[in-house]
Amino acid sequence: MKELSTKPYLIRAIYEWCSESGYTPYLSVKVDGQTRVPNEFVRNGEIILNISFDAAHHLTLGNDIIQFSARFSGLSHEISIPVNAVQGIFAKETTQGILFPPEEDADTAQPANDVENPDKPPSSPQISPALMGKKRRFQVIK
């Protein structure tokens, strides 16, 4: 049986924390072919979205997909985001939240256990040398 991802649960938890604290929850999303957002607001393959109660209507934070309708420059758009495209969720006012590590494609993912040597413990995740020492930060694009 496939193990459930913690990512959608963490997204919902930070969303709830932001809402209860009076903060504005923002999603950082890596835009790909499966992501439905207004392309004119995409910068460098990413978009930051306000998912507060006032901005995101009919918001559904599902295990596989996040859907809502929102206005951009006065026009209503239906937004659909695969959960695996979410890079992070944070409070606009404090920037506190969660930044998720980049996900590997299913085709290139390494198996968790070494089949050739079952006594060997699973290897720990490796950080790309290109990402080491670099501090990622959120930037709100208006």
Which residue range forms the structural domain that includes residue 76?
7-99
The verdict on residue 33 lying in a domain is yes
The verdict on residue 134 lying in a domain is no
pLDDT score of 29 more than 70: yes
The verdict on residue 81 lying in a domain is yes
The verdict on residue 118 lying in a domain is no
Using left for φ > 0, alpha for ψ between -120 and 50, and beta otherwise, residue 99 falls in: beta
The verdict on residue 107 lying in a domain is no
pTM given for the model: 0.71
pLDDT (tens digit per residue) in 76-100: 999 999 999 999 999 999 999 999 9
CATH number for the domain spanning 35: value is 2.30.30.220
Total domains present in the chain: 1
Nearest C-alpha neighbor of 98 from the set 86, 88, 83, 84: 88
The verdict on residue 31 lying in a domain is yes
